[in-house]
Amino acid sequence: MKKANTKAGDNGTRNYCFGCGPHNAAGMHLRFEMEGTEPVVRGVFRMPGRYQGSRKTLHGGIVALLLDEAMGKFNRLDEVVAPTAELSVEYLRPVPVGRKIVVQARRIRRQGRNYWRESTIQDENGKLLARSKGRCVKIAERVPAAAAKGGKQ
């Protein structure tokens, strides 16, 4: 499996992303991996109670964040800077805090600067808890760290 996170941005800058940034002290520090030739982004988590909405379930905003973060990991693979332009979430069942969940994302299609992706959250038994579709819009090419520092790629 290939790691989908790095400690610094591609151009050597620090990563303060709330979801995955290792330099954000208040962030979630989420880690994902990529699997397969038609890559799937995958992360396995036990979300702590501080992200609870009510009744020992994950807050809906955190559910959306997990789904969005998974889809966004394809930006590095696609070598683009492409923030989320649209995100729709279906909350199918409560997502429990403190129990194992699996977050996965896949590419759907690309057209011009638009990248469509989908993601899911399942419990440890494979039961679907939430799903989303999103569209990211390319605003720039990603600059590899070596090129940003004047080195060879």
Collect all residues with Cβ–Cβ distance below 8 Å to 25 and sequence separation of at least 6: none
pLDDT confidence of residue 151: 47
Whole-angstrom distance, CA of residue 65 vs CA of residue 60: 9
Domain 42-148 fold: Thiol Ester Dehydrase; Chain A (3.10.129)
Q: What is the pTM of this model?
A: 0.86
**Could you read off the pLDDT of 63-80 as tens digits, one per residue?**
999 999 999 999 989 999
Whole-angstrom distance, CA of residue 71 vs CA of residue 93: 20
Domains of the chain: which residue ranges? 42-148
pLDDT confidence of residue 61: 97
**Could you read off the pLDDT of 2-45 as tens digits, one per residue?**
556 544 455 567 888 888 889 989 989 899 999 998 899 999 99
* CB-neighbour burial class of residue 101 (10 A; exposed 0-12, middle 13-18, buried 19+): buried
Rg of the chain over all Cα atoms, to the nearest angstrom:
16
